Amino acid sequence: MTPALLIHGGAGAATPSALQAERRSGLTAAFEAGWDILIQGGTALDAVVQATVTLEDHPLFNAGLGSCLTEDGTVEVDASLMDGSTFQTGAVGAAKHIKNAICLAREVMTDGRHVFLVGRGAERFAREHGLPQAAADELITPRQHQRWQALRLSSGQAQRSNSEPGTVGAVALDSSGRLAAATSTGGVFDKRAGRVGDSAVIGAGTYADSAMGACSATGDGEDIIRATLARTAVELLRGGKDPAQAARTALARLTRQTRGEAGLILLDPFGRRGVAYTTESMSVALRLGSGQAFRAEGRLVVRV
């Protein structure tokens, strides 16, 4: 079976022109990291984790380094992943001092005792399992600190803009026909401490079933949770339905039910892809053959 990979760098406002080249480079590096695993016969799960780690390590994506700050000026990260063949999952939420939340989620999955760890419990689990820790300010970029400080200086009059692209994610199909999905985020700008969004919630921000499809979502987290967007999109693939149409239908339902804005990437067991969003823009990277959307004859397509 021919492997497939699709990644996103968040949905929201269009990327400012001054940042487009660097974000495009980050998406390219993330895609290549995941793709190298797939073409060497690696698993879909390993591919989505590696692609997500690469985006977490980039300062211009809202995950890991570069995460939005809470109202307290700290970084709290969420992440989840799912293996569509075994239905194993791992998730973490509102965790501090975590460099790569998706690696912590992977460790939770591997440990197997629980599915979802949050806050101090997740942080202690990370220490016990030897995952790299980050100092309090290590994940705070000057750009995100300036956004947070501007809101403080405006006495709350500045807009708590969530229009910047938020969340990163990946979906993959490996040569054995296994599907997997991963999602990671720093959350909503100026969020309350302890807030957990859709990126940590299986069925909302992340879902995979190798018999139907895999999805990673991004956008208005609370509304995505209410609509269980990722699971809804995957269920719409039943009977071999077209992923592009399923993605659009899932977002239409979200709009009708909650009026929320979002984007999602969707992959089916045949390697067909769906990309849809109701925000101004959505960053994606994918390699497509002839006859697919974003026609590119097998070349890597990156859009920011």
pLDDT score for 152: 83
> What confidence category does residue 291 fall into, taking pLDDT thresholds of 50, 70 and 90?
very low
pLDDT score for 120: 97
Instruction: Give the single-character DSSP code of 74.
Output: -
At 242, list the tokens: 């077209």
pLDDT score for 297: 43
- Residue ranges per structural domain of the chain: 4-303
Average pLDDT (212-233) is 97
- The alpha carbon of residue 279 and the mean position of all alpha carbons in its chain are separated, in whole angstroms, by 16
Express each pLDDT in 88-146 by its tens digit. Answer: 999 999 999 999 999 999 999 999 999 999 999 999 999 999 998 898 789 998 889 88
Partners of 218 in the β-ladder: 263
Percent of the chain residues topping a pLDDT of 70 = 93
pLDDT score for 271: 96
Distances (CA, A) of 95 to 186, 195, 260: 10, 10, 25
pTM: 0.94
So which residues are the catalytic ones? 167
Sequence-separated (6 or more) residues with CB below 8 Å from residue 239: none
Query: Is the confidence at residue 294, as pLDDT, over 50?
Result: no
Strands 116-118, 89-95: parallel, antiparallel or unpaired by DSSP? parallel
Query: Is the confidence at residue 2, as pLDDT, over 70?
Result: yes
Query: Is the confidence at residue 74, as pLDDT, over 80?
Result: yes
Distance CA 94, CA 209 (A): 26
Nearest to 8 by CA among 209, 193, 274: 274
Give the amino acid at 239: G
On average, the pLDDT of the chain sits at 92
Express each pLDDT in 178-196 by its tens digit. Answer: 999 999 999 999 999 999 9
Query: Is the confidence at residue 11, as pLDDT, over 60?
Result: yes
> What confidence category does residue 148 fall into, taking pLDDT thresholds of 50, 70 and 90?
confident
285 touches 61 (CB < 8 A): no
In 40-141, which ranges are continuous DSSP H helix?
Answer: 44-56, 101-111, 119-128
234 touches 177 (CB < 8 A): no
Give the best-scoring range by mean pLDDT among 126-130, 133-137, 155-159, 291-295.
126-130
pLDDT score for 296: 39
> What confidence category does residue 155 fall into, taking pLDDT thresholds of 50, 70 and 90?
low
Query: What is the greatest pairwise CA distance in the chain?
Result: 57
205 touches 224 (CB < 8 A): yes
267: Cα within 13 Å, side-chain hemisphere? 34
Nearest to 63 by CA among 52, 51, 74: 52
The CATH classification of domain 4-303, taken from the options 3.90.110.10, 1.10.8.50, 2.40.30.10, 3.60.20.30: 3.60.20.30
286 touches 8 (CB < 8 A): no
Average pLDDT (237-241) is 94
- Give Rg (Cα) of the chain: 18
Distances (CA, A) of 76 to 82, 119, 170, 196, 282: 21, 8, 20, 9, 23
